[in-house]
Amino acid sequence: MRINPDKCVACGNCTYVCPMEAIYIDPVIKRATIKRDECVECYACYNGLSQEHLNPTMVRTVRKIFALAKVRFDPEPDVCPTGAFEPDELTWPRVVRRAFSDPRVPHESTGVEGRGTEEVKTNDVSGRVKVGEVGFTIEFGRPGVGARFHEIQEMCWALAEAGVSFEKKNPITSLMSDVATGTLRADILNEKVMSAIVEIKVTVDRTEEIIRLVWAVEKRLGTVIALGVGTRCDENGEDKVVAPILESLGYKLERAKTNIGLGRVKRPLDKPAAKETVNA
């Protein structure tokens, strides 16, 4: 992303909306400027700000007059008055920043938007996590901190050394040069992204071991981690196995994503609704 200095009027609205705080007003050129290495190409500025396309000279003149007359105008804070943002033509490896940061761009490896993962959201169809198994989503960088791939690689190395296998349909796995060791492509290691999710699956009895491993590695990283733990419920819709383990490790379980089991592999829209319990 770039800001056209001929259009920018240095209103400063964009400096607040950048999730990575990568935009500042350059005091020398008096224009909003992007710190290129901190920008994750999430397009929040370009997609999220409304645009007015006003004449920049006219806006600068009006602002000067208002300042001289000591008139305060309280404009809308989510607007770029001149439409000054211009997307760059992204090339490798910088293009991976956008793939992991702009939620509207589907990942090529999975075809899924956002961070490119389905996790237990489609478990009723995919059967990804079975009874007796636990699916981990280890998310790096969110909220609002960002992560570099060398940090993610450090976790992947530790997980691979512990003998866990990485989810095949996951964008991070697709960027590994050696899945057995959890090594990522060397040319992306310093790229920064809004967030990325490593997905693994283990048997229930390894739940505590994996969490303790994550605790050990995260201390060495300069980013935040959001840990998600998914499991298949029993025939009564209960989880009496994984939740107690998590609570014994000190977690207070407040929020969850619950798949209610209505997914089907395929059913025409016009077929009459089934009456039986759907996820039996």
Q: Which is nearer to other proteins, 180 or 225 (CB)?
A: 225
Q: Which among 149, 119, 150 is positioned nearest to 258, based on CA atoms? A: 119
| Shortest separation between residue 180's beta carbon and other proteins, angstroms | 25
Decide if residue 223 touches other proteins (CB under 8 A).
yes
| Angstrom distance (rounded) from CA 107 to CA 99 | 6
Radius of gyration (C-alpha) of the chain in whole angstroms = 23
CB of 111 to other proteins, least distance (A): 5
Quick check: 222 binds other proteins (CB under 8 A)? Answer: yes
* Residue 254 binds other proteins (CB under 8 A): yes
Q: How many CB atoms lie within 10 A of CB 273?
A: 6
Site pattern 23..62 for other proteins (x: CB under 8 A): -------------------x-x--xxxxxxxx--------
Closest CA to 79 of 6, 9, 5: 9
Q: Which stretch binds other proteins (CB under 8 A): 27-35, 159-167, 183-191, 235-243?
A: 235-243
| 256 Cβ neighbours under 8 A, 6+ residues apart | none
Residues 171-210 that bind other proteins (CB under 8 A): 194-195, 197
Shortest Å, Cβ 177 to other proteins: 24
Q: Tell which one of 82, 135, 153, 170 touches other proteins (CB under 8 A).
A: 135
Residue 79: half-sphere exposure toward Cβ, Cα within 13 Å: 10
* Binding piece for other proteins, criterion CB under 8 A, among 1-9, 85-93, 180-188, 231-239: 231-239
Whose tokens are 């105008």? That residue is 73
Cβ nearer to other proteins, comparing 26 with 113: 113
Binding span for other proteins by CB under 8 A among 30-38, 63-71, 86-94, 270-278? 270-278
Tell me whether the omega of the peptide bond preceding residue 56 falls within 30 degrees of 0, making it cis: no
Which residues share a beta bridge with 196?
Answer: 140
CB 19 within 8 A of CB 44: yes
